Amino acid sequence: MASHVGPRAAGTDGSDFKHREKVASHYQMSASSKSEIKKLTVVHFILWILVAAQVTVTHLNLVSHDLVAMPYQWEYPYLLSLFPSFIGALAMPKNNISYLVISMISAGLFSVAPLIFGAMEMFPLAQQLYRHGKAYRFIFGFSAVSVMYLLMVIAIQVHALQIYYSKKLLDAWFNSTLEKKKK
């Protein structure tokens, strides 16, 4: 028992901490990966809101098409990218490996694949803008191609990092499971 009053025990200078227990590395990895995934999910949600707002505003004719351009084809399947983040969030509290794997696979299908398709879909328009300086679609006065490519660059980084940290989290959970089976 530790004494809150009185002198320190003879022969201890405070350097006898090496024998104390430490948090296992896979638990530290799990906690830090979960934290990073939560931050990236918030950024993904903000990007998703921007895409959903553009789709909603244009289809409900809330503003002129001169102010906000019609959405590109890739934006519709990208709206499904919220489901992988939701499944990943369900996996976190109880370290559910199967939900995390489903989240990783569906993130590739519903998040990354539409972004790759969108890059290919918009490339001729971006090339035309670069070579001739002509843009035909605008979002609040900016070229729609430029705005959407900027959004795509951010989104691809967010989704790549989500998948990366999910893989690290999966590895940490597997290590934890293996250690429990050894005991």
Q: What is the pLDDT of residues 46-92, one digit of tens each?
A: 999 999 999 999 999 898 888 888 999 999 999 999 999 999 999 99
Q: Backbone phi, then psi, for 21, in 5-degree steps?
A: -70, 150
Predicted pLDDT at 177: 66
Beta strands 138-139 and 142-143: pairing type?
antiparallel
The residue that leads in pLDDT, 154 or 21, is 154
CA dist 52 to 79, 105, 140, 169, Å? 7, 22, 16, 29
Q: What is the pTM of this model?
A: 0.80
The pLDDT confidence band at residue 183, using thresholds 50, 70 and 90, is: low
- Which amino acid is it at 136? Y
The residue that leads in pLDDT, 154 or 24, is 154
Question: What is the residue-averaged pLDDT of the chain?
Answer: 87
Query: CB-based burial of residue 182 (10 Å sphere; 0-12 exposed, 13-18 middle, 19+ buried)?
Result: exposed
Predicted pLDDT at 149: 93
Return the percentage of the chain with pLDDT > 90, whole number: 56
Mean pLDDT of 149-178: 90
User: Is residue 30 over pLDDT 90?
Assistant: no
Predicted pLDDT at 139: 87
Mean pLDDT of 96-112: 94
State which of 42-46, 122-126, 168-172 shows the largest mean pLDDT: 42-46
